[in-house]
Amino acid sequence: MKRTDWTRREHLALLAMAAALLPVSKLRALEAMMEEADPQYGLIGQMIAKPGERAALVAILSGGTGAMPGNIAYLVGEDSANPDAIWIVEVWDSKQAHVASLQLPAVQAAIEKGRPLIAGFGTRAEFKPVAHNGA
C-alpha cells in the first residue's frame, strides 16, 4: 500500500521516529520514498552497547546495511535517555525481504563486527502498516 493509504496517525508516528533519527535532508528523502513504497513489515528495536561503544556500534550498523533489497527505511539513532542505547527502525516491503537481508554478506559482516560491542537488547516490536479504513 502506498503512504497515502496509511492512517494519518501511522504516517505521523513513522515521521516522528524518523525525525528524531535523521537530519532534515534525509527525512525529506525518506518521505519521498514512502510515497512510492509498499511497506508491509516493520521492526523497532532497542540495542544496548557496551559502555563507551555506542558510537562504534552505530557506525557499524549504519555502514554495513546500505543496499538491502526490499528495504524502504533503515534508521539508527541514539537513545536520548540512555548513553549506551540505540534504536533501530526498519521498514520493509515484506517480512521475507527482512529475513533474506540477514543472509547478505554486508549484513553478515556488520553482525560479526558489531556483536562484540553489544551488551544486550531492550524493547523490540514488529509492526505492519494498516490501510486507512476511510474513517
* Distance between CA atoms of residues 115 and 57, nearest Å: 9
Determine the distance from the C-alpha atom of residue 92 to the mean position of all C-alpha atoms in its chain, rounded to a whole number. Answer: 9
Q: List the grid coordinates of 97.
A: 525481504
| pLDDT tens per residue across all 135 residues of the chain | 333 344 555 555 555 665 565 555 555 555 555 556 677 898 889 999 999 999 999 999 988 666 889 888 888 999 999 999 999 988 888 999 999 999 999 899 999 999 999 999 998 989 875 543 344
Within the chain, residue ranges assigned H as helices are 8-21, 24-36, 54-63, 95-101, 105-114
> 3-class DSSP state for residue 93?
coil
120 backbone dihedrals φ, ψ, rounded to 5°: 170, -170
> Cβ distance 79 to 46 under 8 Å?
yes
Overall residue count recorded for the chain in this entry? 135
> Cβ distance 89 to 61 under 8 Å?
no
Q: What predicted TM-score, i.e. pTM, was given to this entire model?
A: 0.71
Could you tell me the residue ranges of all domains in the chain?
Answer: 38-127
Pick the CATH number of 38-127 from 3.30.70.100, 3.40.50.150, 3.20.20.300, 3.50.50.60: 3.30.70.100
